[in-house]
Every structure is written in structure tokens, then in C-alpha cells.
Amino acid sequence: METNKNEMTTILGLVILAVFTRLLPHPPNFAPITGIALFTGFHFINKRLAMFLPLACMFFTDLYIGFHSLMPVIYSAFAFISFIGFKSKSLSFFTVFGASISFFLISNFGVWYFNYPLNWGGFLSCFMLALPFFINSLAGDLFYTSVLQFSFNKINKTLYETV
């Protein structure tokens, strides 16, 4: 998929707006970063930039929100989600659902490894307690990916109609 200069400007503008929403009050895990990672992975020709942008969004908002010990795990999960965007043929429900599941698994393996007993009971406790966060993550991922893709399509349609 080829991206021209107008599309790139549109994508960057939409991503910048989405980052600000991470700083606004929101339900736990209802955040735009998975949507940004999928969106940039899918649309950007420059895959390094597509991988870098969501991580930069995380880092700059983490400067305000705060750093934590699981940052390498969380950032790795978002890098993997960008990779999902690279390989996707569309930003469908199933693509977003797969990205949400991958974030859930990667992040909670990290939480389990660093914060729970490393046994079956600790594993089950960690993942069971994380389920409510998964519901919010999935809802946020579906919402933000949809808003980014819809806005991108609408803005580009308007640009091409006026050109």
C-alpha cells in the first residue's frame, strides 16, 4: 500500500490527536496506543517510522504519566502490534481483536513473571484478575482503530475531491 505526502500528513495529524487522548481521563486501559500501532503499521510505507511512532507516543506520554518497571514488556507488546499492522490486509475486527489478545498475553506474562508467584496459581490469579482490563482494552482498541481509520478515509476523500 503506497502512501503519498497528503496521506502521511493526515496520518501524523490523526496520531498526534490520538496521543492527547491518552493524557485525558479515561477508563483503565481504554487508550489509543494499540490503534495507533495498528494504524501506522498498516498505512506507513516506512516501517521503521511505523514502529517508532507508537513507542514515541508511549514514551512522551509516560514522561507525564510516569515510568514503571514493565515498560520494556509493554513497549515490546506495542512493537509486536505494529508488526501485526505491517502484515495485515485490512484493519478489520479480527485484526484489532488479534492485537488486543497479543497485548493481553504479552503484558500479563510480564506482570505474572515480575509480580506473581511463578507457579500455576500465580499464573491463573494474574490472568483472571486481568480480564476486566482486557474488556476495556478491547473496547478502546476497537474504538480508536475505527476512529483513526474512519477519519483517515474521510479526510483523504475530502482532499481528493477538492484536488
**Tell me: the pLDDT tens digits for 87-115?**
999 999 999 999 999 999 999 999 999 99
Residue 163 reports pLDDT greater than 80: no
CB-count exposure of residue 11 (10 Å: 0-12, 13-18, 19+): buried
CB 103 within 8 Å of CB 140:
no
SS3 at position 44: coil
Q: Tell which phi-psi region holds residue 39, choosing left (phi > 0), alpha (psi between -120 and 50) or beta.
A: alpha
Which pTM was predicted?
0.89
Residue 3 reports pLDDT greater than 70: no
For residue 130 the three cell numbers come to 486481568
Residues contacting residue 114 through CB under 8 Å, at least 6 positions apart: 69, 70, 73
**Tell me: the pLDDT tens digits for 113-155?**
999 999 999 999 999 999 999 999 999 999 999 999 998 888 8
Average pLDDT, the chain: 91
